[in-house]
């Protein structure tokens, strides 16, 4: 079920024509499902085959893109119905019965999945695809701007997914792997679906939320299914301990908690850095082989060559990658099918990640957050993560998001948005004293120059569905540009924006 390649890699960032294994042919589904099913028969192959056959029966072929067409629950069906008002080209919606509730129905368009599967054969022979055919298009979270559709291709992407699951997570055939991400996010694609299946390992799809019906939900799943490997985002870890967030880099406190309470100090903890565009994990410890340091993603994965560019007068700068790796995304969908423009700018010849990083004396890499989130106060370069980390030490703080506002005198000043722990009590008419305590905290931990000019206590922070804090929203609102927030569709709960605007308007 494949044809051999001759060339390993060709093309460059400058020319935007990177390909891996160009003459090769393969089939993603065969590699993930069929070849395991023949030796360990189970239902997955039949399900995948019927799915393929239904799509074929509907005339869907290679290259067609389909709007979300499988509905998991009533809420999802309602969302799909609303979205389809704007997509008249969509002909059919396949609805899978999950909750048993009644759903709105458009006769002729909507079809029950279980009825359609009865009409098609149970087996679908895989077909050989070219190594550089599109495998999937994924829209980035939009935490840093307009979401863009990123295209991954089979050969290189599958290699990245398979290798990282094998070496970063050290999986063995009898293991039970659980990645608690949304399957619609890159983490879900690479580490719920492709990576574990390519390794023939049992994978877990979790559809609920980590706090329903109890905050122990994750650990109940681990116990019930005898999970051996658990992969999740810091947001979820912090949520479970009902403690605050410092942004996307995991703060050492959350790391220690994960180690002590979840892993009982018996588990390897891997803090993995990567992006939708990179397809698979890029910077990570290798369990048992690389000593970890809480808060650092440690060292590059095989073949990855990180460089820190524009370091100014310190070892901190912008993380770039020197050479293409197999699972790099190929292009931006429908944007004239251009290759990722991030390849090209602003450092020609390097892949630009947009993340600020530091490197310590042992060569360990410390991710500081998006460069748009780096603040420059009177010539001091500060990462939002650093200031947030200082604030989180205050006993009342649950989560914080720090942003920089331009200032004629100092370059930028620091605004800190803070949510409080539910059990923390204070006098709401005297937010001033709490703000003073928090400012003092930052002065103590980092220094006077880092002290926030404003502390804004808010009920909630704007986050994407994958749990990333969207600082650009706070930045715009603080800069008086609350009417130019752009696309808010990727927000988990758009209503928090109004509450933040109101709070900023009244805070002195």
Residues that bind ligand WTA (CB under 6 A): 140-141, 186-187, 248-249, 271-276, 297, 353-355, 367, 370, 466
β-bridge mates for residue 14, sequence order:
none
CB 398 within 8 A of CB 420: yes
Task: Give the largest CA-CA distance in the chain.
Answer: 71
Q: φ, ψ for residue 229 (rounded to 5)?
A: -130, 130
Nearer to ligand WTA, 187 or 400 (CB): 187
Q: φ, ψ for residue 234 (rounded to 5)?
A: -55, -35
Map residue 413 onto helix, strand or coil: strand
Alpha helices in 153-302 (DSSP H): 154-168, 186-188, 195-198, 217-224, 234-240, 252-257
CB 482 within 8 A of CB 494: no
CB 210 within 8 A of CB 240: yes
Nearer to ligand WTA, 471 or 476 (CB): 471
Nearer to ligand WTA, 68 or 372 (CB): 372
- The least CB distance from residue 30 to ligand WTA, in Å, is 26
Q: φ, ψ for residue 26 (rounded to 5)?
A: -165, 175
Q: At what angle do helices 496-506 and 471-478 cross, to 10 degrees?
A: 30
Q: Which residue is nearest to ligand WTA (CB)?
A: 276
- The least CB distance from residue 181 to ligand WTA, in Å, is 8
Nearer to ligand WTA, 368 or 394 (CB): 368
What is the distance between the alpha carbons of residues 44 and 201, in angstroms, rounded to a whole number?
13
- The least CB distance from residue 425 to ligand WTA, in Å, is 33
- The least CB distance from residue 185 to ligand WTA, in Å, is 6
Nearer to ligand WTA, 77 or 471 (CB): 471
CB 273 within 8 A of CB 283: yes
- The least CB distance from residue 234 to ligand WTA, in Å, is 8
- The least CB distance from residue 164 to ligand WTA, in Å, is 12
CB 459 within 8 A of CB 500: no
Nearer to ligand WTA, 439 or 470 (CB): 470
- The least CB distance from residue 130 to ligand WTA, in Å, is 26
Nearer to ligand WTA, 276 or 419 (CB): 276
């Amino acid at each position: 079920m494949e044809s051999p390649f001759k060339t390993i890699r060709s093309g460059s960032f400058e020319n935007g024509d990177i390909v891996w294994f160009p003459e090769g042919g393969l089939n993603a589904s065969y590699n993930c499902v069929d070849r395991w099913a023949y030796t360990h028969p189970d239902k997955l192959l039949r399900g995948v085959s019927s799915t393929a056959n239904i799509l074929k029966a509907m005339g869907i072929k290679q290259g067609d893109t389909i709007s979300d067409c499988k509905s998991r629950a009533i809420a999802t069906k309602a969302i799909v119905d609303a979205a389809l008002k704007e997509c008249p080209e969509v002909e059919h919606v396949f609805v899978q019965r999950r909750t048993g509730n009644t759903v709105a129905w458009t006769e002729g368009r909507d079809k029950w999945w279980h009825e359609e599967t009865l009409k098609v054969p149970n087996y679908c022979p895989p077909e050989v695809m070219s190594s550089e055919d599109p495998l999937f298009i994924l829209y980035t979270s939009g935490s840093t701007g307009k979401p863009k559709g990123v295209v991954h291709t089979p050969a290189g992407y599958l290699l990245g997914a398979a290798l990282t699951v094998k070496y970063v997570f050290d999986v063995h055939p009898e293991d039970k792997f659980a990645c608690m991400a949304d399957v619609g996010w890159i983490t879900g694609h690479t580490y719920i679906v492709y990576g574990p299946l390519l390794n023939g390992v049992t994978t877990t799809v979790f559809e609920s939320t980590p706090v329903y019906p109890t905050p122990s939900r994750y650990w109940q799943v681990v116990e019930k299914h005898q999970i051996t490997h658990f992969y999740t985002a810091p947001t979820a870890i912090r949520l479970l301990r009902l403690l605050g967030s410092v942004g996307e880099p995991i703060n050492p406190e959350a790391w220690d908690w994960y180690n002590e309470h979840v892993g009982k100090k018996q588990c390897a903890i891997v803090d993995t850095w990567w992006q939708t565009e990179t397809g698979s994990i890029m910077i990570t410890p290798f369990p048992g082989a690389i000593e970890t340091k809480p808060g650092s993603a440690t060292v590059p994965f095989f073949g990855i060559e990180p460089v820190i560019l524009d370091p100014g007068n310190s070892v901190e700068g912008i993380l770039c990658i020197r050479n293409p790796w197999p699972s790099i995304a190929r292009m931006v969908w429908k944007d004239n099918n251009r290759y990722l423009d991030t390849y090209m700018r602003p450092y020609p010849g390097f892949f630009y990640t947009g993340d600020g990083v530091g490197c310590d004396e042992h060569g360990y890499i410390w991710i500081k957050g998006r460069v748009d989130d780096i603040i420059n106060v009177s010539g001091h370069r500060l990462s939002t993560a650093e200031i947030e980390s200082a604030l989180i030490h205050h006993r009342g703080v649950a989560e914080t998001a720090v942003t920089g506002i331009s200032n004629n005198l100092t370059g930028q000043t620091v605004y800190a948005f803070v949510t409080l722990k539910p059990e923390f009590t204070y006098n709401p008419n005297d937010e001033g004293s709490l703000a003073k305590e928090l400012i003092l905290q930052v002065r103590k931990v980092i220094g006077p120059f880092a002290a926030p000019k404003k502390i804004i206590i808010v009920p909630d922070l704007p986050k994407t569905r994958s749990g990333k804090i969207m600082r650009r929203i706070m930045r715009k609102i603080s800069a008086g540009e609350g009417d130019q927030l752009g696309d808010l569709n990727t927000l988990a709960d758009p209503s928090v924006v109004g509450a933040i605007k109101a709070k900023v308007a009244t805070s002195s």
